[in-house]
Structure 1
Amino acid sequence: MHKEGEIRVIALGLIRNGDKIFVSEGYDPVKQEKFYRAMGGGVDFGETSFEAVKREFQEEIQAELKNIRYIGCLENLFTFNGKPGHEIIQLYECDFVEPKYYQLERQEFTEGERKKIAVWVDINRCKSGELKLVPEQFLDYLS
């Protein structure tokens, strides 16, 4: 886990399948709201963000990525569970190597102690605000 008051550098992978994107589901107990965000995680010291996005998908859901293309950098200031957070996000567009990942309804995985779920969600439900996609600037990459 990162320390409070620290800026965290993370690498996220944007994976599309038609009008759906592959995201992990989160829940903020303080705001009592569900949210979705692209899969990925922290960049380790001495590792590039490109390497980090590949490693995170491998660790979390045992998936290999291909066609990994850098698409931009986002800065995200947010509050989660009542605490302020600050992230620099290196965003990559990518594809799964194995077709089976495109058939999944939901994929359970663990991140440290936490059980998490990854799902395909409809981009239009995110754009309409029905589903909360974080960070919101993410929607700019889904046009």
Structure 2
Amino acid sequence: MSIDRSRIRVKAMLIAPNADGTAHAVSRNTPTIENPRGYHRLIGGSVELSETHREAVLREVDEELGATVHELRHLGVLENIFEIDGVFGHEIVFVYIGRLDPAPAQVGATLMESDGSIVPVEWRAFDEDADALPLYPAGALELIGVGR
């Protein structure tokens, strides 16, 4: 399914720490022109008509991972303006933090996107070095005091 990037989209995404708080679950997305090694993205997705951003993040986590979220807390809102393979996108992203139940496996975990594609899920260390894949939306970890 092709994504219409001609409009500003509203998203709800989750920073999902592991039990010891050293890493968080992210999807690993395929390479693009802008990110030839791929990129990481927070778990979550689009807010649907008639649902709140809180309802959206809970629904997206259930749909993508078959998990529930505990200790859900809203952190803030980010504006994400980006390019994927030369096509501009623009999102308003409501960012949350919360614990997944069940948590994805340390290795080999996946999630299912709305178009049915399967995407790997990885645990990204909060103190990831500069050589790491980019994390989107940019600035998300700054909402919890990481990466300033």
Instruction: Using structure 1 for the length normalisation, give the TM-score.
Output: 0.88
Shift of 1:61: 1.1
Deviation at 1:103, TM superposition (A): 4.6
Give the structure 1 partner of residue 118 of structure 2.
Answer: 115
Determine the structure 1 residue equivalent to 2:16: 15
Quick check: which one's helix share is greater?
Answer: 1
| Ranges in structure 2 where 5+ consecutive residues have no aligned partner | none
Structure 1 CA distance for aligned equivalents of residues 61 and 88 of structure 2: 26
Q: Which residue of 1 aligns with 2:57?
A: 53
User: 1:5 deviation in Å?
Assistant: 1.9
Deviation at 1:2, TM superposition (A): 4.3
| Residue 3 of structure 1 pairs with residue 4 of structure 2 | yes
Deviation track 1:59-116 (CA, whole Å, cap 9, x = no partner) reads 1110011111111000000001210000000001111233xx1653231232114221
Which has the larger strand fraction? Answer: 1
Aligned pair count?
139
- Counterpart code for 1:110: M
Q: Deviation above 6 Å: which 4+ runs of structure 1?
A: none
State how 1:1-143 maps to structure 2 within 5 Å. 2-17=3-18, 18-31=21-34, 32-98=36-102, 101=103, 103-111=105-113, 112-125=115-128, 128-131=129-132, 132-142=134-144, 143=146
RMSD value, Cα: 1.6
